[in-house]
Each structure stands twice: as C-alpha cells, then as structure tokens.
Amino acid sequence: MKIINLKNNMVYLKDYIYLRNTYSDCLLTKKVTKNKTKQWLKTHQVDIFIAILKEEVVGAIIIYYEKNNEITIFTKYKNKGIGSKLLFYILNKAKFNKYDLWAWIEQNNVLSYKLFKKFGFIKIKDFEKEFKGMNFNGYILKKFFKSD
Ligand SMILES: CC(C)(COP(=O)(O)OP(=O)(O)OC[C@H]1O[C@@H](n2cnc3c(N)ncnc32)[C@H](O)[C@@H]1OP(=O)(O)O)[C@@H](O)C(=O)NCCC(=O)NCCS
C-alpha cells in the first residue's frame, strides 16, 4: 500500500470523492463534487493523503492546516490497518515539522476512538456539533508535538 498526496495525483480524484461521499453523513459534511473539490484544494490550506492498494483508493486522511491542523480519516475497509497507516504517516509529518494535530470524534465512534488512542491522542474536552438540525456529542482528541 502506498500513501500519496491527492494534489499531485489527480487521476484518483473521482475514486477519492466516491469514498468520501459514502462517509459524508458520518463525517457531518455535505457531499462534494469533482469540480468543487478541485477548486477547494486550490483555495484552501489543506492536504489530502490517499492510501492506494492495487490502484484502488482504500482510504484518506485530510489535514486542515487552516483549522489548526484538524484531521479527518476514513477507510474503505475496516480493521485492515489502513487507518493506522494513514495516521502514522501524518503523525510523522507533524512530529518532523513540530505541529500539533487534533480531531473531533463522535462519542459512539468506538473504532475511531481506539485508533486515535492507539497513537497517543488524548481527550481534551467534550464538544457538541450541529449538523442538519441535529446535535452530536463528541470529543476533541489531540496529539502534541510542539512542546515535545
Ligand atoms: C475509524 C477508521 C478510520 C479506522 O480505520 P481502520 O483502517 O479500520 O483502522 P485499523 O485497521 O488501522 O485499526 C486501528 C485500530 O482500531 C481498532 N479496531 C479496528 N477494528 C476493530 C474491531 N473490529 N474491533 C475492535 N477494535 C478495532 C483497533 O484498536 C485497531 O488497532 P489494532 O489492530 O492495532 O489493535 C475507519 O473505521 C473508518 O473509516 N470509519 C468511518 C469514518 C470515521 O468514523 N472516521 C473518523 C472521523 S475523524
């Protein structure tokens, strides 16, 4: 499995969008299109790293530099180590460049919580999000590198 930056490998854009949109509700985001995403990548301080296995997009991690390095992660298959590989990849970057990372996780998202805890993220606070008129309880998890 390889991890690459979508910005430099736009041939995978369509497959990435398909995967991302299957999780739009779970990630509390609206569905996106190819053109919107292209534009968004140009105008925002973000990176999307995708995991490729046999030419298939099997996962992605988004880092929002403009939101103090928030990350979002999702995978096509569960419990095959894809999430771990993506998170490890971004953690190494953060460690090298000395910036902190954080993520919001819905309180019932046990798999995600386990994944982040495994890599040393700690729960900072409870945080409620609103989406489509509904409230979702969750946590902010953070991994510190600045002061290490
Ligand atoms: C959360 C998510 C990214 C995890 O990715 P993944 O590829 O399944 O994770 P991994 O296979 O690397 O597993 C990581 C850890 O999760 C836990 N885990 C995964 N599957 C599990 C299962 N079936 N039962 C118990 N624990 C499990 C384990 O702690 C595992 O580490 P270990 O195998 O070393 O013990 C993935 O399930 C996903 O896309 N979920 C939907 C989107 C989402 O909720 N994203 C989070 C918002 S930020």
User: What pLDDT, in 10s, does the model give residues 49-75?
Assistant: 999 999 999 999 999 999 999 999 999
Mean pLDDT (the chain) is 95
Residue 40 maps to a domain:
yes
Cα Rg of the chain, angstroms? 15
Who lines ligand 1 at CB under 6 A?
23, 26, 72-75, 78-84, 103, 105, 109, 111-112, 114-115, 118
- Could you tell me the distance, in angstroms and rounded to a whole number, from the CA of residue 73 to the centre of ligand 1? 10
Partners of 62 in the β-ladder: 48, 72
Residue 38 maps to a domain:
yes
Say what percent of the chain tops pLDDT 90: 92
**pLDDT of amino acid 27:** 85
Specify the residue for token string 């995991």: 51
Angstrom distance (rounded) from CA 10 to CA 7: 6
- Could you tell me the distance, in angstroms and rounded to a whole number, from the CA of residue 144 to the centre of ligand 1? 21
DSSP states along 55-113: TEEEEEEEEEGGGTSEEEEEESSSSSSHHHHHHHHHHHHHHHHT--EEEEEETT-HHHH
pLDDT per residue over 75-112, tens digit each? 999 999 999 999 999 999 999 999 999 999 999 999 99
**pLDDT of amino acid 36:** 94
- Could you tell me the distance, in angstroms and rounded to a whole number, from the CA of residue 67 to the centre of ligand 1? 24
Q: What is the mean pLDDT of residues 117-141?
A: 95
Residue 148 maps to a domain:
no
Does the structure show a pLDDT above 60 at 148? no
Residue 94 maps to a domain:
yes
Domain that holds residue 136: 2-143
| pTM summary value | 0.94
Q: How confident is the model at residue 132 (pLDDT cuts 50, 70, 90)?
A: confident
**pLDDT of amino acid 43:** 97
Residue 113 maps to a domain:
yes
Residue 78 maps to a domain:
yes
Those residues whose C-beta lies under 8 Å from the C-beta of residue 14, and which sit 6 or more positions away, are 34
Angstrom distance (rounded) from CA 134 to CA 3: 35
Nearest residue (CA) to ligand 1, atom 19: 79
* CATH number of the domain encompassing residue 80: 3.40.630.30
> How many domains does the chain contain in total?
1
**pLDDT of amino acid 39:** 96
**pLDDT of amino acid 146:** 84
Query: Which of 18, 78, 123, 136 best tests ligand 1's pocket when mutated (most atoms within 8 Å of CB)?
Result: 78
Residue 13 maps to a domain:
yes
What does DSSP assign to residue 30?
-
